């Protein structure tokens, strides 16, 4: 039967359907014009009129004569919606497909499904959102050439399968309106309410801001979405449904874009679905991501699994029959079914363990569903009596659930003919939660906030807020979240019996930060099962960990080399960044004081108002930020000092000049500033170059390094030659009279090949009050070995004492301090 243009405009074909012969733009315009005019005076679904407070469409003028003569019921029939909710229960006949053409997604299909669990008044509101979205996306097409409105309807239908509430479904239909059309968030809020507007805004990308790169834009949009998710979990459910439909229609994209999107899906969105326990969506995302990212591998593995399954069907059937018979024999009612393992799961295990498919075990799995928890353990006993268990393959996720709330018993067994199998045993409720995760909140109304997935999601979201707070930028936040989406976990205990779930490979420091940021920041040691252990020790499931803290302790930058959790990494970086900023403020004040000395001024004489005015002129909020910028090397102290000094002339000599070894001509003005004294306790804003490793007593020069502060070199360092043309980077520095730190330096010792020589040398270095940080050795010839030591000293006098002591060892033939200046210094040889 021939359809009218109105009917064409209001139907939504599925992703693979062909476009109607009616021109889409003209059909949509005509249909919406008719719909607006008649719905303003006649009934919508559930008897709601378009003139109500939420009517999204304006009155276009008088209707056409032949349409206006129709009754409300006739118009409703043509639009494919019911005119009222006079009778209780769903009315699927009002939403039937209008022709026998290609299979299409109709708005009527969605409304039919929604009426099975939503009141018709709410269904009417969803229909209004559809009309608004259809108008907003008018004329837009997807990559496949299909009208864009097909996509939001498909997303809403995926969520309808989760029994999403009506506001979430309205947001799903409108989820691309802010991002892809001129519609503003405020307009959606005025028409559909603040809740819907916030949900739509939460899943919208940041398109109004220009970012330097695609990676930064993606990270910023992801951060925005995750923060919105912490306020309303429906944001991520809409985004997951959106990503799932996009993955189902990815064939229309270019190969490079398919690979990029599928990789992002496997790295971010599938793990998020897993973290929230939504197994249905996770499996689809992983399979689709696998197929598009590695199409050839996917095809080969699919064929291999299919061939193996065909050869093992009898084995699978025999295990099912044996399980059913044994459980019936002992009076246990249960559902038993076999299944092959998830394709991407098999591939991931093959890649991680570097095994071929033939080497993979437990490709086939079985699931036993029972009524109660105690029955699960009864089934476990029967299963272990029936088949031989594999040692180390039993996991009790009922007693200790996974971090996403998942509960089940897993056991690995040797099945018939020696084929490894896995059996999962769980209750019906556990099975529903395992499939739906946090979506069970909508699907099964008996689930409350304290249910497994709900509580697990709440804890995870709280952790995300802490990571977001401590992350420096969006890309750092994205990397931290990726780390926390690890699929493998360890379960460890606090001394009071609290269970903490951490990613595989987590260390004692990760554990400390999982307890609290303050515990992590002040931890110095630990006890694992009552035995002392270092902070970098990897944890194993079942261990009891006690953290030892000290009031004056602080995080070490080296911890970033071994921690794995996002919270630990973000907290350490945040602390170090704040510490560096505080140290930069102090150093910046000292540097400006030294530069102002050339003008016979001090910071106090310049005054806070003048310094603040200059900071504001420079785009900074306060004087502390100005000092920090100077201390970090981002701004030149001599230029700021000249601005602050105003018309004052530099002092040509006197008490300030007496402290200088050199002066500099700059812009016709002779600058004479006090040297900056290096104490060694400036922290993270003063760095000592590794190329020459200066120590107190060495003549030194400072170089500005943007973002780092000052890098101190020995005057003889060859690398200083690279900065001869950049004199503005140079800073006159000197050692303080009594440096309060230890400094690293390298010495080389040639020693005869004698038993115990290395131990003797190490003991001699320790006797002189020095610590060995590192040692490397290589054999020069058959009789001599060269040892390079990295040691801590307080200065040249301390180093000289160590070298004199080493000369007294008979096996030592030569000692020298290493330098990159092209020659060795302070060398001592033996005749």
Least confident of 435-439, 552-556, 591-595, 675-679: 675-679
User: Is the pLDDT confidence value at 659 over 50?
Assistant: no
687 with 772, same domain: the answer is no
Is-contact 154 244, C-beta < 8 A?
A: no
Q: Where are the beta strands (DSSP E) in 323-467?
A: 335-340, 364-370, 388-389, 395-396, 409-414, 420-427
Residue 664 burial (CB count, 10 A):
16
Residue 203 covered by a domain = no
Q: What is the mean pLDDT of residues 324-333?
A: 92
318 with 387, same domain: the answer is yes
d(CA 398, CA 408): 5
Degrees to nearest 5, angle at CA 710 with 709 and 716: 160
CA contacts within 13 A on the Cβ side of 349: 15
How high is the pLDDT of residue 470?
58
User: Is the pLDDT confidence value at 391 over 50?
Assistant: yes
DSSP 146: S
Is-contact 126 120, C-beta < 8 A?
A: no
459 with 555, same domain: the answer is yes
Could you tell me the CA-to-CA distances from 793 to 569, 743, 820 in Å, in that order?
31, 5, 19
- The partner residues of 700 in beta bridges, in order of sequence, read 714
User: What are the pLDDT digits (tens) for 331-390?
Assistant: 999 999 887 777 888 888 777 767 676 666 556 789 999 999 999 999 999 999 999 998
d(CA 424, CA 684): 53
Q: What is the mean pLDDT of residues 392-421?
A: 85
Residues recorded for the chain: 831
User: Is the pLDDT confidence value at 79 over 60?
Assistant: no
Residue 797 covered by a domain = yes
Domain ends where: 567, 582, 598? 567
Name the band, by pLDDT with cuts 50, 70 and 90, for residue 326: very high
Torsion, Cα of 481, 483, 489, 491 (10° steps)? -70
Q: What is the mean pLDDT of residues 128-143?
A: 89
d(CA 173, CA 137): 11
Residue 267 covered by a domain = no
User: Is the pLDDT confidence value at 412 over 50?
Assistant: yes
The catalytically annotated residue of 59, 179, 195, 664 is: 179
- Interacting residues of 32 by C-beta distance below 8 A, sequence separation 6+: 9, 57, 131, 134, 135, 138
777 with 649, same domain: the answer is no
400 with 490, same domain: the answer is no
**Which domain covers residue 41, as residue numbers?**
1-192
- Residue 99 Ramachandran class (φ > 0 left, ψ -120 to 50 alpha, else beta): beta
Q: Indicate the pairing of strand 709-714 with strand 686-688.
A: parallel
How high is the pLDDT of residue 187?
92
369 with 496, same domain: the answer is no
User: Is the pLDDT confidence value at 306 over 90?
Assistant: no
Lateral strand order in the sheet of 700-705: 686-688, 709-714, 700-705, 730-731
Alpha carbon 255 to its chain centroid, in Å, reads: 26
User: Is the pLDDT confidence value at 88 over 50?
Assistant: no
Residue 639 covered by a domain = yes
How high is the pLDDT of residue 778?
86
Supply the CATH number for residue 527's domain.
3.10.20.30
Q: In what helix (H) or strand (E) does residue 455 lie, and over which residues does it extend?
A: helix 452-470
For the question of residue 374 being annotated catalytic, the response is no
Rounded to 5 degrees, φ, ψ at 388 are: -75, 125
779 with 677, same domain: the answer is no
- Residue of 674 and 578 predicted with greater confidence: 578
Residues 692-716, buried b or exposed e (16+ Cβ, 10 A)?
A: bbbbbbbebbbbbeeebbbbbbbeb
User: Is the pLDDT confidence value at 279 over 70?
Assistant: yes
- Interacting residues of 236 by C-beta distance below 8 A, sequence separation 6+: 225, 226, 229, 272, 276
User: What are the pLDDT digits (tens) for 107-131?
Assistant: 888 888 899 989 989 999 999 999 9
Burial class (CB in 10 A: 0-12, 13-18, 19+), 723: middle
How high is the pLDDT of residue 457?
67
Domain count, the chain: 5
- The closest of 657, 683, 659, 684 to 671, measured between CA atoms, is 657
d(CA 168, CA 192): 12
User: What are the pLDDT digits (tens) for 616-633?
Assistant: 877 788 888 888 887 777
Burial class (CB in 10 A: 0-12, 13-18, 19+), 759: exposed
Q: What is the mean pLDDT of residues 123-148?
A: 89
SS (H, E, C) 152-185: HHHHHHHHHCCCCCHHHHHHHHCCCHHHHCCCCH
Give the whole-number percent of the chain exceeding pLDDT 70: 71
600 with 704, same domain: the answer is yes
For the question of residue 180 being annotated catalytic, the response is yes
Residue 580 burial (CB count, 10 A):
20
How many Å is the Cα radius of gyration of the chain? 36
Burial class (CB in 10 A: 0-12, 13-18, 19+), 210: exposed
Name the band, by pLDDT with cuts 50, 70 and 90, for residue 733: confident
How high is the pLDDT of residue 821?
56
Domain ends where: 701, 735, 769? 735
Residues 339-378, buried b or exposed e (16+ Cβ, 10 A)?
A: eeebbbbbbeebeeeeeeeeebebbbbbbbbbeeeebbeb
Q: Indicate the pairing of strand 743-752 with strand 772-779.
A: unpaired
Where does 204-294 have alpha helices with state H?
214-231, 234-248, 255-264, 270-275, 279-293
Supply the CATH number for residue 146's domain.
1.10.3210
382 with 520, same domain: the answer is no
180 with 34, same domain: the answer is yes
User: Is the pLDDT confidence value at 280 over 70?
Assistant: yes
Residue 265 covered by a domain = no
762 with 815, same domain: the answer is yes
- Residue of 446 and 59 predicted with greater confidence: 446
- Interacting residues of 283 by C-beta distance below 8 A, sequence separation 6+: 342
How high is the pLDDT of residue 464?
67
How high is the pLDDT of residue 36?
41
How high is the pLDDT of residue 210?
53
Alpha carbon 634 to its chain centroid, in Å, reads: 29
- The partner residues of 545 in beta bridges, in order of sequence, read 528
Residue 219 covered by a domain = no
Q: What is the mean pLDDT of residues 691-709?
A: 83
Is-contact 172 157, C-beta < 8 A?
A: no
Least confident of 147-161, 278-292, 593-607: 593-607
Q: What is the mean pLDDT of residues 448-466?
A: 63
Q: Where are the beta strands (DSSP E) in 708-783?
A: 709-714, 730-731, 733-735, 743-752, 772-779
Domain ends where: 711, 735, 759? 735
Lateral strand order in the sheet of 825-829: 772-779, 784-793, 743-752, 812-817, 825-829
d(CA 63, CA 36): 9
User: What are the pLDDT digits (tens) for 794-827?
Assistant: 899 999 999 999 999 988 999 999 876 544 445 5
514 with 654, same domain: the answer is no
- Residue of 544 and 670 predicted with greater confidence: 544
Query: What's the mean per-residue pLDDT of the chain?
Result: 75
Supply the CATH number for residue 412's domain.
3.30.460.10
The catalytically annotated residue of 165, 180, 216, 479 is: 180
Name the band, by pLDDT with cuts 50, 70 and 90, for residue 512: very high
Least confident of 90-104, 247-261, 300-314: 90-104
Residue 40 covered by a domain = yes
Residue 526 covered by a domain = yes
């Amino acid at each position: 039967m021939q359809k009218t243009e109105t009917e064409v405009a209001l139907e939504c074909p599925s992703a693979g359907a062909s476009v109607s012969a009616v021109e889409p733009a003209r059909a949509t315009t005509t249909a919406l014009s008719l719909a607006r005019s008649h719905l303003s005076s006649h009934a919508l679904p559930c008897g709601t009129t378009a003139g109500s407070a939420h009517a999204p469409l304006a009155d276009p003028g008088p209707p056409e004569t032949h349409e206006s003569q129709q009754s409300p019921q006739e118009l409703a029939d043509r639009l494919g919606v019911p005119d009222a909710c006079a009778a209780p229960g769903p009315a699927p006949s009002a939403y039937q497909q209008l022709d026998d053409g290609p299979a299409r997604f109709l708005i009527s299909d969605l409304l039919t499904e929604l009426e099975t669990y939503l009141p018709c008044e709410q269904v009417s509101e969803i229909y209004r959102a559809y009309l608004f979205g259809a108008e907003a996306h008018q004329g837009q097409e997807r990559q496949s050439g299909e009208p864009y409105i097909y996509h939001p309807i498909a997303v809403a239908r995926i969520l309808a399968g989760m029994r999403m509430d009506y506001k979430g479904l309205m947001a799903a239909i409108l989820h691309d309106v802010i991002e892809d059309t001129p519609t503003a968030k405020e307009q959606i809020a005025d028409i559909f309410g603040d809740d819907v507007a916030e949900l739509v805004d939460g899943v919208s990308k940041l398109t109004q801001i220009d970012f330097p790169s695609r990676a930064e834009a993606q990270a910023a949009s992801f951060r925005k979405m995750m923060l919105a998710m912490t306020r309303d979990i429906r944001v991520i459910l809409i985004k997951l449904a959106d990503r799932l439909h996009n993955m189902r229609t990815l064939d229309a994209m270019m190969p490079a874009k398919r690979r990029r999107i599928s990789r992002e899906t496997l790295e971010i969105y599938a793990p998020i679905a897993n973290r929230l326990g939504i197994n249905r969506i996770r499996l689809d995302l992983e399979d689709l991501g696998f197929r598009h990212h590695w199409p050839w591998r996917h095809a080969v593995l699919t064929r291999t699994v299919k061939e193996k399954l065909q050869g093992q069907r009898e084995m699978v059937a025999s295990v099912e029959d044996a399980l059913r018979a044994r459980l019936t024999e002992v009076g246990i009612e249960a559902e038993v079914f076999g299944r092959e393992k998830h394709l991407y799961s098999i591939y991931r295990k093959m890649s991680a363990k570097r095994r071929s498919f033939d080497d993979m075990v437990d490709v086939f799995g079985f699931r036993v569903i029972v009524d109660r928890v105690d029955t699960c353990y009864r089934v476990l006993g029967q299963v272990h009596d029936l088949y031989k268990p594999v040692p180390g393959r039993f996991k009790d996720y009922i007693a200790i659930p996974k971090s996403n709330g998942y509960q089940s018993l897993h056991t690995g067994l040797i099945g018939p003919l020696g084929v490894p199998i896995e059996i999962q045993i769980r209750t019906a409720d556990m099975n529903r939660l395992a499939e739906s995760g946090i979506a069970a909140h909508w699907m099964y109304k008996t689930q409350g906030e304290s249910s497994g997935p709900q509580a697990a999601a709440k804890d995870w979201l709280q952790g995300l807020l802490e990571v977001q707070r401590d992350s420096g930028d969006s890309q750092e936040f994205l990397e931290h979240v990726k780390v926390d989406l690890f699929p493998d976990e360890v379960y460890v205990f606090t001394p009071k019996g609290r269970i903490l779930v951490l990613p595989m490979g987590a260390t004692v420091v990760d554990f400390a930060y999982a307890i609290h940021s303050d515990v992590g920041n002040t931890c110095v040691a630990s006890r694992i099962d009552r035995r002392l252990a270092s902070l970098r020790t990897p944890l194993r499931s079942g261990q009891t960990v006690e953290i030892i803290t000290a009031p004056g302790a602080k995080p070490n930058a080296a911890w970033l080399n071994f921690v794995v959790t996002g919270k630990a990494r973000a907290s350490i970086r945040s602390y170090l960044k704040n510490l560096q900023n505080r140290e930069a403020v102090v150093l910046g004040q000292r540097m400006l004081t030294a530069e102002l000395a050339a003008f016979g001024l001090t910071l106090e004489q310049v005054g806070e108002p003048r310094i603040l005015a200059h900071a504001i002129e420079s785009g900074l909020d306060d004087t502390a930020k100005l000092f920090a910028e100077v201390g970090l090397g981002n701004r030149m102290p001599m230029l700021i000092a000249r601005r602050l000094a105003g018309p004052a002339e530099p002092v040509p000599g006197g008490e300030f000049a007496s402290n200088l070894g050199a002066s500099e001509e700059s812009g016709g003005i002779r600058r004479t500033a006090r040297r900056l004294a290096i104490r060694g306790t400036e922290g993270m804003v003063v760095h000592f170059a590794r190329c020459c490793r200066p120590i107190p007593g060495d003549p030194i020069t400072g170089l500005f390094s943007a973002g780092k502060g000052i890098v101190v070199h020995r005057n003889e360092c060859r690398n200083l030659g690279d900065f001869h043309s950049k004199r503005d980077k140079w800073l006159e520095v000197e050692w303080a009279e009594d440096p309060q730190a230890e400094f690293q330096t390298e010495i080389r010792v040639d020693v005869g090949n004698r038993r115990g020589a290395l131990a003797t040398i190490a003991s001699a270095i320790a006797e002189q009050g020095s610590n060995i940080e590192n040692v490397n050795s290589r054999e020069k010839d058959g009789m001599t070995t060269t040892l390079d030591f990295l040691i801590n000293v307080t200065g040249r006098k301390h180093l000289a004492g160590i070298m004199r002591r080493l000369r007294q060892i008979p096996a030592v033939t030569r000692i020298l301090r290493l330098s990159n200046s092209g020659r060795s210094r302070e060398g001592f040889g033996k005749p």
